[in-house]
Structure 1
Amino acid sequence: MSNELGTLLLKLARGAIAERLGFAVQVPEGMEALAEPGATFVTLLRQGSLRGCVGSLEPRRSLFEDVRENALGAAFRDPRFPPLAREEFHDTRVEVSLLSPLEPLLASSQTELLAQLRPGIDGVVFQYGHHRSTFLPQVWESLPEPLDFLEHLKRKAGLPFGFWAHGVNVWRYTVSKWKETEQSP
C-alpha cells in the first residue's frame, strides 16, 4: 500500500476528530480515491499510551466512511476511555490500520491453532458463540509469545484462560498501517 494512501487516511482520521472538537479543518485532496469498501482500525496514542481504538473487521462501507467513523469512535466512543478532550488533541497521535480480508484458520485444538499463528504478522479474531475479540498484529509487540497472545485474546472475549471447545472459530488478517510521527499533526 502506498504512502500517499496512508497520508490521506491519517489526514482524514485527524480531520474528523478535529472537526468534532470544533477546530477548523481543510479537506485534503484525493478523497475520491477512498470510495471503495474497506475495513480499518483507528488507534489513538497519547504520550505513548493507548487512548482509544475502534475498528471494523469487514468492509461494509466506503474506506472514507470507515476511517471517519472509526476515528470518531476511537476518540469519543471507546468505552475504556473518557471522550477525547479538546486540550488532548494536539498531543494525540493517530494510527490507521487497513485490514486484509479475514482468512479462516481451521484447527481442532489449541495446539493446531498455535502452530498456524505468525507472530508479528497476523491479526487474529477469536469467536466462540457470542464471545468475540480481536487483536491487531501490533499487539504481538507486547505479547510476543503465541500462547500468551491467544490466552489474552480469549480473556478479552470474556472467556477463561485455557478455554477451548468444539465450535471455536478463528480467523487471521494482515494490516497495512500508517502512524503519525511526533511532528506530523
Structure 2
Amino acid sequence: MTDLGPILLALARNAIASRLGQPARPVEASHAPELDAPGATFVTLTQHGQLRGCIGSLEAWRPLRQDVQQNALAAAFDDPRFEPLAADELDLTRVEVSLLTPAEPMTFSNEADALAQLRPNIDGVIFSVGSRRSTFLPQVWEQLPNPGLFMAHLKQKAGLPADYWSSGVQLARYTVKKWKEAQT
C-alpha cells in the first residue's frame, strides 16, 4: 500500500498554492489507486502553532484526491473564523491532513456512560442533537485532555450550553491517520 501521507500533504499544499498563483511542488506516486477511492479528510492549517483554518468531511463521499484538495481550499479561504489566506502567508503555514475512518455510532445510557466510553487521544467525536452538530478530531484531546471538558467544548461548538444534555443526544466516534508537514 502506498504511503499516502506525503501525497496528501502535497495535494493539499498544491491546491492552496495554485489558488494563490504560486508554483506547485512535485507529488510522488500521485496515481496511487487509493486516491480515486472515496475518502474523508480534514485539512488543518497552523501558523506558529496556532490554528489558521480547519475544514473537513465526516463521510467519504468523493474521491480522496478531490476531498483533500477541496478541504485544503476551504480551510485556507472559507473557514468563517479566519480571513482568507494571503499569498505571503503560505510559507508560514503548516499543513496537516487527517484521514478519517467511518464513524461508528455510540450506545450509552447517559452522559456519564458516554464520557466513560471515550478514548482520549484516540477518538474523534461527532456530537449531534436535533439540527445541531459538531465534531472534534482526536488531536483536540491535546488541548482538552479531560473527557468532561472535551464534551463541554463540543456542545458549545454545536451552539449549546456546556452543561446541556438530553435523551436526544447522539454520539459517534472515529479515528484518524494524520500527517503534518515538518517545521520549516
- TM-score, shorter chain, exceeding 0.5: yes
Structure 2 distance, partners of 1:149, 1:26, is 37
Task: Give the match for residue 140 of structure 1.
Answer: 141
**Structure 1 equivalent of residue 46 of structure 2:** 45
Q: Which amino acid aligns with 1:157?
A: A
Residue in 1 aligned with 2:62? 61
Q: Please report how far the alpha carbon of residue 29 of structure 1 lies from its aligned counterpart in structure 2 after TM superposition.
A: 3.6
SS in 2 for 1:53: strand
Superposed counterparts of 1:15-164, under 5 Å = 15-26=14-25, 28-33=27-32, 34-164=35-165
Question: 1:29-67 CA distances to partner (integer Å, 9 max, x unpaired)?
Answer: 422320010000000001110000000000000000000
Question: What's the secondary structure of 1:160's corresponding residue?
Answer: coil
Within 1, Cα distance between the matches of 2:126 and 2:160?
14
Structure 2 counterpart SS, 1:31 = coil
**TM-score with structure 1 length normalisation?**
0.95
Whole-Å separation in 1 of the counterparts to 2:10 and 2:163: 42
Percent identical: 60
Deviation at 1:94, TM superposition (A): 0.1
Q: Which amino acid aligns with 2:39?
A: G
What's the CA shift string for 1:2-45, capped at 9, x where partnerless?
A: 6x310000000000000000012245242232001000000000
- Give the match for residue 176 of structure 2: 175
In 1, Cα distance between the equivalents of 2:125 and 2:76?
Answer: 23
Q: Name the CA distance, whole Å, in 1 between partners of 2:158 and 2:152.
A: 10
Structure 1: any 5+ residue segments left out of the alignment? none
Deviation at 1:182, TM superposition (A): 1.4
SS of residue in 2 equivalent to 1:73: helix
Provide the secondary structure at the position in 1 that maps to 2:31.
helix
Cα offset, 1:166, TM superposition: 1.4
Contact 2:10 2:25 in 1 (8 A): no
The alignment yields a C-alpha RMSD, in angstroms, of 1.2
Distance 1:122 1:95 in 2: 17
CA distance in 2 between counterparts of 1:27 and 1:61 reads: 23
Matched residues in 1 for 2:20 and 2:40: separation?
A: 25
**Aligned counterparts of 1:169 and 1:66: Cα–Cα separation in 2:** 26
The one-letter code of the counterpart of 1:140 is: W
Residue 10 of structure 2 aligns with an amino acid whose one-letter code is K
Q: What TM-score results when the alignment is normalised by the length of structure 2?
A: 0.96
Task: Supply the AA of the counterpart residue of 1:46.
Answer: Q
